[in-house]
Structure 1
């Protein structure tokens, strides 16, 4: 294998994408005549076909380096395994579909700015799909068929779809990275991306934000609480004449409406008082985006109400990072609850993200309530009364402590 040419391509990839340098140099190449082009495993080995290196220009090889390391940084093998378990997907056909979806996630903004697009790569536009989505979203948008026949050869390895290959060296093979080493590489790359946000593609910026905020048990609990609230009886239900009730047959001449389920409306009250740190406000915006996903991606069904001692303008959820979180004064979330309940149409669920240093509504709201609590070691919250202890969240609210 022409190792000099391969390494020259890696150096060109580093020059084009310097924030990926740590990951590119952590990827160990292994010569293999079993792979069609280049493939990776979950232990950060890159299996390379000598024939492919010989016939591919250095400029295109640089793009392949970036493509393969992107699969590992974005944990496509772990995400593919989870998706397969959740949806009971088995067989090589489904794993090929995962490979195509993962390529779509990467290739929509991977090339250009000094990086040549390799010939024959999968793109969302080539499959008639929108750009900027995640692998899991693409998997719900297409099936294998005549339009995917050109990609039947595609095999980026077990580091993409989680299915072991005959050429894999396995966890005990040489030059593999441990789990701790892999996490360290991801963290350093995320740091590099955060330091040069103006010139980094949106997909990588989103990845870096999630890398700095890895999933925690409290996030799973908060998501479960919200999903439970929005799926409970009465939430998102209304009568509609679009499909008459079957009971109309028993009442001749009368058309009765049927009970139909619509996406639930969620109002998020964000505590923006002076006791909330900038980091916690940033975490609140991440939770707002997660809430949008929990209700099926219908951002038009989610509104955000910033509130300190007074409730500010309710904002529809278009982009989480575009919501102005005004505040900085005292805390009284009763105003936020009142503002959310005055919205028309009224919310089915209210989610309050706060440190708990606030009075609470005396009466139970006419909808389900979830409270995400930022932890506090001090209990005082009034400057003029240092011995005052804030009320704990009421019994009618589902409470999850945010770590």
Structure 2
């Protein structure tokens, strides 16, 4: 949803889910004013006022200097199909000449920041992953995803020299808490009469991952390559990390997760987890929600079918004295990445801190809120036992450790991934024990060395 455009309140919405909060009434434009422009006969089409548009971008860069690299990386494309302004995944910004003409420069500056925020926060990639995981299809679900992404951005992006565009949706408009992510907001509201005024709003494929008719696509001109997009994000994260006091909390959180040079072990750990969660048996269960086709051969008998549900993941973090604070911080970053791998379903991820004894299994709310208790010896067997003793039992166990621990003698009844913190020199022998065998991860686990 692009701020600065108000929808058509006359458009009927679908019935709201029970308990959906009402949103405050906001002024609304007509459907004709929000819809793509149609040239009037005998009148020349309105030209895009580039001076006004670029003046607004310069004002946005002055108000948010840490976003300047991203703002000037956007390539402007004039389009009469776009209701307001929209972006695609290749960092093109599609602009309506009519919208620029009727919007003040101060509000246009806010729209620039809003649109580039969708791309920096990877809403197109996250939207596609959420859509696949939760089975969200159709224009209505994409609109809901766009609104959720807007609320993630708008709760703290304006102010301090940046005017909030009229009509920008905030979490408070739907009586929702600020500071949450798009994936969280998606579970907390539904389309209906209370969101009907947002029906004409569209931030483009860069906000939800669904291609629009005006998109130039990957082979179009002036798009950024994947490496160029990553470089822009890295430069912005550098700017925020260099002066963290000048950025809102949401941007500081984003920079903390994004400000890491590309490292192969992160890709390997993510690939290992995806392989574990998508393998046979992970997340599979029988359900009567869709009867088996074999039921047709057994009159009067209803057989369940095997359905895939999102897998449950338990992360066992080694908190013994041999693991440094920096490694524990890295472990928490991996917990956040794991939650994204399962489609943002934080309720499916739990964390067990373990040294010589296992602690309480904490459900994942926010990674920085997980208490990591320990500091003694190491015995991850207790952590595995704690994870397997939970109900429901996890489909995947991820152990983040330095490897200096005894391991379970038998493989657990679920897939296991081990993230191994590196050690400069691991002991290969013990002079006092000729039968010494170094503690190595077992063969039944997928092992990835976390080489920082």
What TM-score results when the alignment is normalised by the length of structure 2?
A: 0.67
In structure 2, how many angstroms separate the alpha carbons of the residues matched to 1:217 and 1:339?
A: 23
8 A Cα contact 1:268 1:288, kept in partner:
no
In structure 2, how many angstroms separate the alpha carbons of the residues matched to 1:102 and 1:381?
A: 50
Match of 2:258 among 208, 211, 222: 211
In structure 2, how many angstroms separate the alpha carbons of the residues matched to 1:339 and 1:89?
A: 36
Match of 1:268 among 306, 309, 316: 316
In structure 2, how many angstroms separate the alpha carbons of the residues matched to 1:168 and 1:368?
A: 43
* Alignment partner of 1:333 is 2:378: yes
1:316 deviation in Å? 5.1
Q: Which has the higher contact order (CA 8 A, sep 6+)?
A: 2
In structure 1, stretches of 5+ residues that fail to align are 234-262
8 A Cα contact 2:75 2:92, kept in partner:
yes
In structure 2, stretches of 5+ residues that fail to align are 1-47, 286-310
Q: Which residue of 2 aligns with 1:248?
A: none
Alpha-carbon distance change, 55 to 398 in structure 1, aligned in 2, over 3 angstroms: same
* Alignment partner of 1:372 is 2:418: yes
Q: Secondary structure at the match of 1:333?
A: coil
* Alignment partner of 1:113 is 2:164: no
8 A Cα contact 2:401 2:418, kept in partner:
yes
Q: Which residue of 2 aligns with 1:37?
A: 84
In structure 2, how many angstroms separate the alpha carbons of the residues matched to 1:183 and 1:98?
A: 23
Match of 2:427 among 366, 381, 386: 381
Report matched runs for 1:216-255 at 5 Å: 216-222=267-273, 225=276
Alpha-carbon distance change, 84 to 378 in structure 1, aligned in 2, over 3 angstroms: same
* Alignment partner of 1:173 is 2:220: yes
1:21 deviation in Å? 0.8
8 A Cα contact 1:19 1:193, kept in partner:
yes
Aligned pair count reads 364
What TM-score results when the alignment is normalised by the length of structure 1?
A: 0.74
Alpha-carbon distance change, 77 to 316 in structure 1, aligned in 2, over 3 angstroms: closer
Please report the RMSD computed on the Cα atoms of aligned residues, expressed in angstroms.
4.0
Q: Secondary structure at the match of 1:192?
A: helix
8 A Cα contact 1:223 1:291, kept in partner:
no
In structure 1, how many angstroms separate the alpha carbons of the residues matched to 2:369 and 2:346?
A: 17
Report matched runs for 1:9-88 at 5 Å: 9-88=56-135
Match of 1:140 among 159, 163, 187: 187
Alpha-carbon distance change, 264 to 33 in structure 1, aligned in 2, over 3 angstroms: closer
8 A Cα contact 2:319 2:373, kept in partner:
no
In structure 2, how many angstroms separate the alpha carbons of the residues matched to 1:141 and 1:291?
A: 22
